[in-house]
Chain A
Amino acid sequence: MRTEFRLSGSGGQGLLLAGIVLAEAAILEGKNAVQTQSYGPEARGGASKAEVVISGEDIDYPKAMDPDFLLALTAEAYRTYGKLMKKGLIIVDESVPPSEDIIARTARVPILKTAAKDIGKSVVANIVALGVLAGVSGIVEPGTLEAAVKNRVPKGTEELNVAALKKGFELATAFKAKA
């Protein structure tokens, strides 16, 4: 089965890294995974998007066609990609105002606030979001994702990022309990 993820926000939020970690975790579990990206010429700011396709079978087309999960960390990303969502679930930061023309099932989660307040570092919002995405989708085991996070984050920040990941898992559990 093919599962598609689209992680969207603005450049510098670390969505690409989150996508890489998710794909790597899937591979650690013996699945196939492809990660692609799309971003503007700016080093920071501007729209940024990472996509991950995970499947037990051969993946021919590497991009998301009809995502099962959309993560949106900015209002712009939510409006742009939320409209395209058909069957999937949108996970959006709770600070982003809802939009009436976006009809897909939506989870509003305090990702940015959790990173800034609970962890004390807004830069780890991407890893909090990754925890939410993995927890809600159940696509990989938490332990595998933790190993992939440790593999890919800058040396010396492993502990901080694992704490962020765990907060993300908690947010996912809370959402699932409500849903």
Chain B
Amino acid sequence: MPSAKLMQGNEACTIGALVAGLEFYAGYPITPSTEIAELCSEELPKVGGKFVQMEDEIGSIAAIIGASLTGKKSMTATSGPGFSLMQESLGYASETEVPVVIINVQRMGPSTGMPTSPAQGDVMQARWGTHGDHPVIALAPGNVKECFDLTVRAFNLAEEYRVPVIVLTDEVIGHMREKVLLPDWEDVKVVDRARPTAPGGYRPYEADLDGGVPLMAPFGQGYRWHVTGLFHDETGFPSGKADVADRLLRRLDRKITKNEKVIRDYVTESVEDCEILVVSFGSSAMSALSAVRRARREGVKAGMLRLKTIWPFPDEVLKDLSRNAKAVLVPEMNLGQLAYEVERTVGCRAPVVRIGKVNGDLFRPDEIHDKIMEAAK
């Protein structure tokens, strides 16, 4: 039986990756994500995997895309500055449908910013950092246990839909240690990409046009196929034809939109009769939960929606929960990024109050509590 342990968020991400079947890590260490690289360098060789410290983050993401093409589950970890450098190849992974996992332990930006301080400023970068419409999934753990759970899930979703999946944590969650009880490894559900059974007649990008996922052949095992960031047809070779481009991009997009209900993941507290709805994620949500609980004890009908899947954004869930809200509050450690989506989704049903914090400190619960009380007046 597993026993409860004191575990760090970055450590839990790494263990989750190993349980999910991580075989290849390439990265450039950066605070506050470094522990993930350190642990992977220690643990991967023990299970026959490979760890490579790269020259930079551009090389890191390129290396994990290459490794994934050979059939190995691959990951990198970084923070804002490195995540910025990865954007070009992140688009390449989306276009070529190569499953990779990127853990972004967010710190204060822009630029080098405050290396050791938490922030949540990469919400929009995770969605729109690379150019062009592209499918992407971003998950946001809210505690150390979820660092494990959602890293496993990131691999599973990446394999299932052949998309890059971003695990968006932050300095607080990444460095925090808490009591964690992990499940037996054998009980953890692990998904592997669907593969063709024989090389003969393999068409690498053949799939149902309504969000289908093509079979993925591992390089080096008798399959020959072409991988390109150019728009391509079912053979994998480039095509400049309008209908080919349109079909491909719509299929890529549908992989996510069609499965949003399955990908969506969230937790709620006291939402049944809530008038003040707080929407948050990651470490801000810990402060928000404390504030919501205090407001409840004081007789205010406050409730909370905490997103574990940020992208795709769960429109339907928020629409339902905000139906009777008098106000929707969005505390986040940026100047309003998730708030854009909340405003779009809630529309004119209720005023959306942005609560941004950008000084490198986690919210104190009373800062959010004050806003709840103000909104409840």
Chain A residues near B (Cβ < 8 Å):
20, 23-24, 27, 32-41, 59-63, 65
Q: A23 contacts which chain B residues (CB < 8 A)? A: 6, 177-178
B152 close to A (CB within 8 Å) = no
Q: B293 contacts which chain A residues (CB < 8 A)? A: 60
Contact with A along B359-377 (1 / 0, CB 8 A): 0001011100000000000
Contact B6 A24, beta carbon cutoff 8 Å: yes
Nearest-neighbor residue (CB-CB) of A151 within chain B: B6
Contact A60 B286, beta carbon cutoff 8 Å: yes
Contact with A along B278-295 (1 / 0, CB 8 A): 000001001101100100
Contact A36 B6, beta carbon cutoff 8 Å: no
List 6 contacting pairs A-B, 8 Å CB cutoff, sorted by A: A20-B177, A27-B179, A35-B177, A35-B178, A62-B362, A65-B365
B47 close to A (CB within 8 Å) = no
Cα–Cα, bound, A27→B364 (Å): 25
Contact B6 A27, beta carbon cutoff 8 Å: yes
Cα–Cα, bound, A35→B178 (Å): 6
Shortest beta-carbon distance, A34 to chain B, in Å? 4
Q: A34 contacts which chain B residues (CB < 8 A)? A: 176-179
Contact B178 A39, beta carbon cutoff 8 Å: no
Contact A36 B5, beta carbon cutoff 8 Å: no
- Quick one: which of B117-133 are within 8 Å of A by CB? 117
B175 close to A (CB within 8 Å) = yes
Shortest beta-carbon distance, B121 to chain A, in Å? 18
Contacts A38-B117, A60-B289, A62-B283 known; list 17 others, CB within 8 Å.
Answer: A23-B6, A23-B177, A23-B178, A24-B6, A27-B5, A33-B178, A34-B176, A34-B178, A35-B177, A36-B172, A60-B290, A60-B293, A61-B287, A62-B176, A62-B178, A65-B364, A65-B365
Q: A24 contacts which chain B residues (CB < 8 A)? A: 6
Cα–Cα, bound, A65→B365 (Å): 9
Chain B residues near A (Cβ < 8 Å):
4-6, 31, 115-117, 172, 175-179, 283, 286-287, 289-290, 293, 362, 364-366
Shortest beta-carbon distance, B284 to chain A, in Å? 11
- With A20-B6, A41-B31, A41-B115 given, is the CB distance from A36 to B175 under 8 Å? yes
Cα–Cα, bound, A153→B5 (Å): 16
Shortest beta-carbon distance, B343 to chain A, in Å? 26
Nearest-neighbor residue (CB-CB) of A48 within chain B: B116
The SS class assigned to the B binding surface is mixed
Q: B6 contacts which chain A residues (CB < 8 A)? A: 20, 23-24, 27, 33, 35
Contact B179 A61, beta carbon cutoff 8 Å: no
The SS class assigned to the A binding surface is mixed
Cα–Cα, bound, A33→B177 (Å): 8
Interface centre among B172, B177, B293 (most CB of A within 10 A): B177
Q: B364 contacts which chain A residues (CB < 8 A)? A: 63, 65
Q: B177 contacts which chain A residues (CB < 8 A)? A: 20, 23, 34-36
- With A27-B4, A62-B286 given, is the CB distance from A37 to B175 under 8 Å? yes
Shortest beta-carbon distance, A6 to chain B, in Å? 14
Contact A38 B116, beta carbon cutoff 8 Å: yes
Contact B176 A36, beta carbon cutoff 8 Å: yes
Cα–Cα, bound, A77→B227 (Å): 56
Contact B178 A59, beta carbon cutoff 8 Å: yes
Nearest-neighbor residue (CB-CB) of B6 within chain A: A24
Contact A33 B179, beta carbon cutoff 8 Å: yes
Q: B116 contacts which chain A residues (CB < 8 A)? A: 38-41
Cα–Cα, bound, A35→B172 (Å): 10
Cα–Cα, bound, A24→B283 (Å): 21
Nearest-neighbor residue (CB-CB) of A40 within chain B: B116
Interface centre among B117, B178, B289 (most CB of A within 10 A): B178
Cα–Cα, bound, A167→B289 (Å): 40
Shortest beta-carbon distance, A41 to chain B, in Å? 5
Nearest-neighbor residue (CB-CB) of B285 within chain A: A60
Interface centre among A36, A38, A61 (most CB of B within 10 A): A61
Cα–Cα, bound, A20→B8 (Å): 10
Cα–Cα, bound, A113→B116 (Å): 31
Ordered nearest first, which 4 A-B pairs have the shortest CB separation?
A: A61-B290, A35-B177, A60-B290, A34-B178
Shortest beta-carbon distance, B220 to chain A, in Å? 41
